[in-house]
Amino acid sequence: MKKQATNEAIEETLDQATDAVLKQSEELSSDEPIGLSGLMNVPVQVTVQLGTTRMNLSDLMQLGPGSVMTLDREAHEPCDILVNGRVIARGEIVTVGEQYGVRISEISPAS
């Protein structure tokens, strides 16, 4: 069941990528299908979201170096991994050398 949900999520993401390619390309012939291999190089925006918060504009304007914003998640909760603004997975923040990374812990079911 989980594999089917993962496949559905991938198919939906590919459908979105196909739509983006069709909109961006004026050279595509309506007689030629794009195919899966034609989509593999389509760039997508991947975002890792630790949490969110809401605040008044006046509170936002008072932020500066050293300010702390409390997010809507507890420290042990997984972060969201978004592709083109849509949550596709969850994971935990890790360090990879001098950089941050994300270890994927679950793939979101297709909705």
Residue 40: which domain range? Answer: 2-107
Q: What is the CATH number of the domain that holds 10?
A: 2.30.330.10
Per-residue pLDDT of 29-59, as tens digits, reads 556 666 778 788 888 899 999 999 999 999 9
Quote the number of domains for the chain: 1
Whether the pLDDT of residue 26 is over 60: the answer is no
Q: CB 9: neighbour CB atoms within 10 A?
A: 20
User: Which is more confident, 41 or 81?
Assistant: 81
**pLDDT score for 51:** 93
pLDDT band at 109 (very low <50, low <70, confident <90, very high): confident
